[in-house]
Structure 1
Amino acid sequence: MSDDISISEKAYQYLRSMIIDGKIDTNKAFTERALAEKLQSSRTPLRAAINRLEGEGLIERLAGGGIVVREIKIEELVEILMVRLLLEGEAAALCAARAPAEATAALIAQSEYFLTNSDAEFDAFWAYDDRFHHYVAEHSGKPLLAKLIGNLRDMARMCHVTRMEHSFVSQAEEHIAVLRQIEAGSPELARQAMVDHITKVRERLMRWLFDS
């Protein structure tokens, strides 16, 4: 039984990373059997992994028994950002009362790097962006809140337009504004700074859509 759990967890982590990174085509259906052969796994632990991914809204089962990665459409992305605005605003307020000063200062320093490196690699910025949002969520002290925020961010990344957001300097400035209020221990100002940040992210994405 423990071996099945270990295999299932590995399959889950592998598939989840492939989905979030856009390495599995949203238009290409696959089956449990084909996936089991590719991963050299039995179908029982693989099915458990697939069920978890389905529960997270990352994949869908087709009527014929196939499985497909969900396509996150623009309308859903806008809704995700609306929910994130509420949840991450609350996380920032809670974080302001809990985050360690040294770690916050270190993240501010990382943010400042992107103020003068607007031509940084996209993946490098995404990794930093993950660190920022994960830091705020984790230091909210609310594990369920942090998990919900993480899942919503992963779903948002499955929408192709999120890769069009290249305003690294603007985002870094907004992150610093949030972190400064967290550093100062100002919950409501931290909340507002995070709300402002996600609002601006949404506005930039909409502007890109209408201009393209």
Structure 2
Amino acid sequence: MARKSQKGAQPPGDTLEQAAYEMLMRKIMDRSLVGGAVIQERKMADAFGISRTPMRRALAKLEGEGLLIRLTDRLLSVKLVSLQECLDAMAVRLLIEPEAARLATGRIPAPKLEELKSQLGDLTTTKNPSRDMHWALDDNLHTAIAQYSGNKAILDTVAQLRRTTRMFEEMAVPQPTWSPGTEEHLKIIKAMQRGDPGKAAEAMRVHLVVSRKNVLGMLDQ
């Protein structure tokens, strides 16, 4: 009886579904759920304290986005991203994100650029910055640029591609003792502050080329 009462007090199913989706996404991205980890709908719903219906929908959404692979009717696993999949995603990002930077220049608000610059400053002045600090800045900058490009297809595609590259880096790339990309990030921000779309696009292109090189270099370590 108590269990039924508790569920009756829960928020609507769509709210629970979104909350479960966001929590599962975080667990995948921060490696709490590693590549290949098996997920059982019922156990995951119990762990989250929700019914199976919103959990089933959240898992289906993640499966549709390619983050989960279905094993059976009731079991899924976290996708293992291969090096080739990561490189393919990086290649498409190289086609899209410089254009996003060009389009976002002049549209992204000055306070947002100052926020990004301040966040970057905190990262560069922190001794041995954590992986979480690096990804927080990376997510904020790339998402903001895609958002202010004014093109929803760019925003959605960049989000999908970045999930693929991040999953591979989290699973396969050793933790660096420095925060990669900070110099290129600063050049992107400064070009946008100056209102120079060409320079912003070029800075983004260089950043992505260097990121690819860094990933391959760290794999050789």
Please say whether Structure 1 and Structure 2 have the same fold, judged by a TM-score greater than 0.5.
yes
2:177 is aligned with 1:202: no
2:194 pairs, out of 180, 184, 187, with 184
Alignment partner of 1:66 out of 68, 75, 83? 75
Q: Which residue of 2 aligns with 1:3?
A: 12
Q: Please, which moves more after superposition, 7-16 or 111-120?
A: 111-120
User: Number of residue pairs matched?
Assistant: 209
TM-score, normalising length: structure 2: 0.84
- Cα 1:11/1:112, change in 2 over 3 Å: closer
Paired residue for 1:123?
132
| Residue type at the aligned position of 1:84 | R
**Post-superposition shift, 1:91?**
1.0
The runs of 5 or more residues in structure 1 that have no matched partner are: none
Partner of 1:104: 113
State whether structure 2 residue 41 is matched by structure 1 residue 32. Answer: yes
Amino acid at match of 1:108: K
For residue 183 of structure 2, what is the aligned residue in structure 1? Answer: 173
Displacement of 1:67 in angstroms is 0.6
SS of 1:30's partner is: strand
Gaps of 5+ in 2: 1-10
Could you list the per-position Cα deviations for residues 66-101 of structure 1 after superposition, in whole angstroms to 9, with x for gaps in the alignment?
Answer: 210101111111111111122211110111131223
Normalised to the residue count of structure 1, the TM-score between the two structures is 0.87
113-122 or 54-63, larger mean C-alpha shift:
113-122
Shift of 1:6: 1.8
- Check conservation: 1:96, 1:190, Cα contact below 8 A: yes
**Distance change in 2, residues 1:114/1:38 (3 Å):** closer
Match of 2:66 in 1: 57
CA distance in 2, matches of 1:162, 1:119: 17
CA contact (8 A) 1:161 1:205 kept: no
Look up the match of 2:6: none
From the superposition, tell whether residues 104 and 27 of structure 1 become closer, same or farther in structure 2 (CA, over 3 Å). closer
Code of the residue aligned with 1:95 in structure 2: it is A
Which amino acid in structure 2 is aligned with residue 171 of structure 1? G
Identity of paired residues, percent? 30
